[in-house]
Chain A
Amino acid sequence: MPKITINGTAQSLPDDPRVSLLDFLREHLHLSGSKKGCDQGACGACTMLVDGEQRILSCLALAVQYEGRAVTSVEGLTQAGALHPLQQAFIEHDGFQCGYCTPGQLCSAVGMAAELRRGVPSYVTEDLGLETVEFTDDEVRERMSGNLCRCGAYNGIVAAVTEHHAKPAGEAA
């Protein structure tokens, strides 16, 4: 039986190849943290991490395409039941109102930070030759533009993400 690893646990993939990665977690595994906002790649609420910190949209991913891969959803960000420090930062900075987009925002922010550290350029990066890219508000807003928040908590989200990643490496999990 083909397998996929979800939040550290091996799971059998669905028989029907039409099942999206999002529906697989929500409907088959009953992990309802990841949200179905638009189901067409326009809102980012379904963002998950693959093979560490590669952020993807699970609504546009067929679960079977990710055979053998390791997927992390918002449920997998918590450590031993404790909130991920980024989750704590979202609470402290009012990074949400209704909370529907938050699981996607969290996973996306983790993936985005990895991209900054790697020097992946964005459309607002001035110097494309840098080994790593600086963590500025403009960079965060551009790179998080695939995650919509209809409550408009963007200022809190940017503050939470920025504060979390300004912490020393040991603190920022």
Chain B
Amino acid sequence: MNPFTFSRALDAGDAVARGAAPGARFLGGGTNLVDLMRETVERPDVLVDVTGLSRTIETRADGSLLVGAATTNTALAEHMAVRQGFPLLARAIASGASGQIRNMATVGGNILQRTRCSYFYDTDAARCNKRDPGQGCDAIDGANRYHAVLGASSACVATHPSDMCVALAALDAIVHLRGSGGWRSVPLTGFHLLPADHPERETVLQPGELITAIEIPALAFGANSTYRKVRDRASYAFALVSVAAALQVEDGVVKDVRLALGGVAHKPWRAAAAEQMLRGQPATPASFEAAAKAEMLDAQPLRDNAFKIALVQRTMVAVLDSLATVRT
């Protein structure tokens, strides 16, 4: 691990002031950043510990939530307002990593974990445009079972590993930011970037900018939602694919729906095409199948991951069918 200086931020203003130092990075639970520092993939000169900042979960009268960025993953998943009002979020978080890691990891850090693959970690032997821009990508023609089928580029085919963010994408969550120039808010679906020619840029975050909170807008049919994650082993593994869904059915017709996919792209993938196709359609497996197919129309398989396209479609149909059955 390269040397760095360490300090603890007292509040968000203090964090932003400290984070303005050259080579500074904010440190949450450390479950991704410390690991990457040990592998020398990340080499910050200054670490600013922000785990002491707000970890309040504010439940508002309109049903929305405001979650302090230092809230741990466990604390968010166990909050009764999340378990009852947004089960897809509680289930997504509970499906990620392990109990120990969920206790350490913060909400802000989960969002800012690196989009990555095993070649990104392999500093000795693999080329990686994300780690060393312009170097090339060994994953595109390599072992790419876990890699992206949507929105990838010739520069990078890695996937964003967060489960929580897939649920947040479906929920239209808003990321609250504070930088030296003041405050701003960005929708989560616009926060992460597709790789294009610059896979080293993963978010719209400006240098020194800090995530202070996540806002989860009210969703009337949020209680009828779930998250399903398909893995190579039953637990403690990254998603091959995952589906976050919330469904509102009235008189057998899809009134509204939210859908997002994990394990398929450089960012949490909001399945907007499928959503649009489903609204107003009968809540039947045939509609779900047509929507799932439409979402994956532009999918581009690599050598080892063509199975993901059918797997996403089947998982999406199964999840929507389970939600339709509950309420009709």
Output the nearest chain B residue to A40 by Cβ-Cβ distance: B35
How long is the Cα–Cα vector from A120 to B103 in the complex, in angstroms? 11
Q: Tell me whether B63 is interfacial, beta carbon within 8 Å.
A: no
Is A62 touching B100 in the complex (CB atoms < 8 A)?
Answer: no
* Complex-state Cα separation, A122 to B92, whole angstroms: 10
Q: Which residues of B contact A115 (CB under 8 A)?
A: 74, 78, 99
* CB of B64 closer than 8 Å to a CB of A: no
- The interface stretch among A24-32, A52-60, A75-83, A95-103 is A52-60
Docked Cα-Cα span, A44 to B84, in Å, equals 30
Provide the residues of chain A in CB contact with B220, threshold 8 Å: none
B4 contacts A56, C-beta separation under 8 Å: no
Q: Which of A3-11, A86-94, A142-150, A156-164 contacts B (4 or more CB under 8 A)?
A: A142-150
With A47-B100, A56-B103 known as contacts, the answer to whether A41 contacts B49 (CB < 8 A) is no
B1 within 8 A of A: yes
B95 interface hit (Cβ, 8 Å): yes
B39 CB contacts on chain A under 8 angstroms: 40
Q: Which residues of A contact B97 (CB under 8 A)?
A: 146
A10 to B82, CA, bound (A): 38
Given A145-B98, A145-B236, the answer on whether A56 and B104 have CB atoms closer than 8 Å is yes
CA distance A41 to B31 in the complex (A): 7
Whether B100 contacts A55 by the Cβ 8 Å rule is: yes
CB distance from A21 to the nearest CB of B (A): 10
Q: How far is the CA of A39 from the CA of B31 in the complex (A)?
A: 11
Chain A residues closer than 8 Å to B4, beta-carbon distance: 17-18
- What is the bound-complex CA distance between A125 and B227, given in angstroms? 12
B6 and A146 contacting across the interface, CB-CB below 8 Å: no
Cα distance A57–B99 when bound, in Å? 10
| CA gap between A133 and B4 in the complex, in Å | 42
Whether A145 contacts B234 by the Cβ 8 Å rule is yes
A62 CB, nearest partner CB in chain B, Å:
6
Chain A 131-151, CB within 8 Å of chain B: the 1/0 string?
Answer: 000000000011111110000
Contacts of B34 in A (CB 8 A): 20, 60-62
CB pair B94–A122 under 8 Å, yes or no, is yes
A85 CB to closest chain B CB (Å) equals 21
The smallest C-beta distance from A165 to any residue of chain B, in angstroms, reads: 15
Q: In the complex, what distance in Å separates the CA atom of A9 from the CA atom of B234?
A: 39
Number of interface residues of A (CB under 8 A): 38
Confirm or deny: B27 has a beta carbon within 8 angstroms of a beta carbon on chain A: yes
A128, B103: Cβ atoms under 8 Å?
Answer: no
Q: A121-B83, A121-B91, A145-B236 are in contact. Are A112 and B99 (CB under 8 A)?
A: yes
Select B47's contact among A17, A120, A121, A128, beta carbons within 8 Å.
Answer: A17
With an 8 A cutoff between CB atoms, is A64 at the interface?
Answer: yes
Given contacts A17-B47, A123-B94, A145-B235, contact A129 B84 (CB under 8 A): yes
How distant is the Cα of A130 from the Cα of B51 in the complex, in angstroms? 29
Contact with A along B7-50 (1 / 0, CB 8 A): 01000000000000000000101110011001100000001010
Provide the residues of chain A in CB contact with B84, threshold 8 Å.
Answer: 128-129
Identity of the chain B residue whose Cβ is nearest the Cβ of A138 in the assembled complex? B234
Once the chains are docked, how many angstroms separate the CA of A115 from the CA of B38? 30
B182 on the interface (CB 8 Å rule)?
no
Partner among B49, B78, B95 whose Cβ is within 8 Å of the Cβ of A118? B78
Given contacts A55-B100, A146-B98, contact A60 B77 (CB under 8 A): no
Contact of A108 (CB < 8 Å), options: B30, B31, B74, B99: B99
CB of A90 to closest CB in B, whole Å:
18
Which residues on A sit within 8 Å (CB–CB) of B181? none
Q: Is A119 an interface residue (CB 8 A)?
A: yes
A57 CB contact (under 8 Å) in B27, B91, B95, B101: B101
CB-CB under 8 A from B91, the residues of chain A are 121, 123, 128
Tell me whether B5 is interfacial, beta carbon within 8 Å: yes
Q: 4 closest A-B pairs (Cβ-Cβ)?
A: A146-B98, A145-B235, A17-B6, A128-B83
6 contacts between A and B (CB under 8 A): A57-B101, A60-B29, A120-B77, A121-B77, A142-B234, A147-B98
